Chains A and B, each alone.
Chain A
Amino acid sequence: LAKTTQPISMDSYEGQEVNITCSHNNIATNDYITWYQQFPSQGPRFIIQGYKTKVTNEVASLFIPADRKSSTLSLPRVSLSDTAVYYCLVGAGYSTLTFGKGTMLLVSP
């Protein structure tokens, strides 16, 4: 299983862009990269998924370089409500995804 490494925590201020980078050096050819968000006392929620280059939705953008050994989740103009834990996962098909401890993002006024 591809293992991921991401920062334990990050701090930001309202209105700033936040970029969280995840390393996955042994990603397999058919693995996808998926990011989840978790608020306290709730289950994780899917944010975005990609395979290569760039994916954008109404919530975030995901940047994946050509070698796919890392990925960056970009949150534009964060607000206080974006304070949460963000998990980076890689996997495909029926493989088990490992969530790990994620990145705790704290957004301050």
Chain B
Amino acid sequence: GAGVSQSPSNKVTEKGKDVELRCDPISGHTALYWYRQSLGQGLEFLIYFQGNSAPDKSGLPSDRFSAERTGGSVSTLTIQRTQQEDSAVYLCASSLVGSSYEQYFGPGTRLTVT
């Protein structure tokens, strides 16, 4: 069956520009997560959705980062006024209900800010 998909797979942008990253979770999964991973580092939690609401936004690094989820399905992560330190792989995952259930990860979006 279809897994988690993310688009674009790669994004190169100039410093100061806004970017939108998209995540399509597995159908029926109510929980959705965004993480980012810098080169050689572990996964850094960004935000977690349960349905369309985000009970945990604690990982968003600054107010330049925002995310929304509509219809309990697709989610977009928006980074405004990108900085070079935003360069990383952004990973999306979904799970059936909550975080104690198996999370299925997408292939990620590699963001490069020049």
Contact A93/B99 with A43-B107, A44-B105, A99-B35 known, Cβ cut-off 8 Å = yes
Tally of contact residues, B, Cβ under 8 A: 26
Contact A95/B99 with A43-B106, A44-B105, A101-B42 known, Cβ cut-off 8 Å = yes
- Which positions 39-72 of chain B face chain A at CB distance < 8 Å? 41-45, 48, 50, 55-56, 58-59
Assess whether A34 is interfacial by the CB under 8 Å rule: yes
Assess whether B91 is interfacial by the CB under 8 Å rule: yes
8 Å CB contact of B99 from A45, A87, A97 = A97
CB distance from B101 to the nearest CB of A (A): 9
Inter-chain contact B48/A43, CB cutoff 8 Å: no
Instruction: Report the Cα distance A21→B4, complex, angstroms.
Output: 30
Assess whether B25 is interfacial by the CB under 8 Å rule: no
Instruction: Report the Cα distance A85→B14, complex, angstroms.
Output: 31
Inter-chain contact A43/B100, CB cutoff 8 Å: no
Contacts of A44 in B (CB 8 A): 43, 91, 93, 103, 105
CB distance from B44 to the nearest CB of A (A): 8
8 Å CB contact of B45 from A31, A46, A98, A102 = A98
15 examples of A-B residue contacts, CB within 8 angstroms:
A36-B103, A42-B108, A44-B105, A49-B102, A87-B42, A92-B98, A95-B99, A95-B100, A96-B56, A96-B58, A96-B99, A97-B45, A99-B35, A99-B43, A100-B42
Q: Give residues in A with beta carbon < 8 Å to B.
A: 31-32, 34, 36, 42-46, 49, 85, 87, 91-102
